[in-house]
Amino acid sequence: MLSAEQALERLKKGNLSYQQESSFRGRVDGTLRQELAEDQSPYAVVVSCSDSRVLPEAIFEAGLGELFTIRVAGNVICDHVLGSIQYAHEHLGCKLVVVLGHTHCGAVHAALEGGTYGYAHRLISPIQQLVDEFSDGCMIARAHACAGARQVEEAFRRTDLSVQAALYDIVSGAVSWL
């Protein structure tokens, strides 16, 4: 199992390669699927938005069995997300969690514009708290990823889990580490 530092280096390297439009698809074959059926040891947890333009495995050039991804619109941290992180840490040995926000996020725009109701309103309410502080969608997405990372850090402060906030630019393909 990779340490948190090694895992972060691997993610950074993967994203640099992704920005250069490499054709990496990872190793996906019957032998690997069979091996992974016995055991998995993903090297990092990535919490990202469900947005169809944000694919953690592609962004970090990761193949089958390499990332434990948790996706929810607006990359909002809730108890279900924390429970998934706990599982990845305690049972799969992950030492690093990345909370990955992104530019042009629909959840952030919804928070800026207001007018949501029902389940969607509940989903974006943590982002709405940042709207008074920042007027720009990109700044809100950054602040929201940082707030999410702090929430995860707080929840797992007694463990050896490292948490990193990041922002993915959907146009350039670059991940900024916050």
Choose one: 27-35, 41-49, 160-168, 169-177; the region binding Zn ion (CB under 5 A): 41-49
Q: Which residues pair with 48 in a beta bridge?
A: 71, 100
Q: Which is nearer to Zn ion, 107 or 140 (CB)?
A: 107
Q: What is the DSSP string of 46-106?
A: EEE---TT--HHHHTT--TTTEEEEE-GGG---HHHHHHHHHHHHTT---EEEEEEETT-H
Q: Is 83 helix (H, G, I), strand (E, B) or coil?
A: helix
Q: Quick one: 64 or 104, whose CB is closer to Zn ion?
A: 104
| Token representation of residue 69 | 């991804």
**How far apart (Å, rounded) are the C-alpha atoms in residues 87 and 142?**
26
Shortest Cβ 109–Zn ion spacing (Å):
9
From residue 47 to residue 86, what is the string marking binding to Zn ion with x (rule CB under 5 A)? --x-x-----------------------------------
For Zn ion, the closer of residues 51 and 66 by Cβ is 51
- Judged by CB under 5 A, the chain residues 81 through 120 that form the site for Zn ion are 105, 107
* Element housing 69 (H / E): strand 67-71
Site for Zn ion in 112-171 (CB under 5 A): none
Residues binding Zn ion: what is the number (CB under 5 A)?
4
- The side-by-side arrangement of strands in the sheet containing 67-71 is 67-71, 44-48, 96-102, 162-168, 175-177
CB of 101 to Zn ion, least distance (A): 8
Window of 44-52, 83-91, 122-130, 150-158 that interacts with Zn ion by CB under 5 A: 44-52
> Where on the chain is the footprint of Zn ion (CB under 5 A)?
49, 51, 105, 107
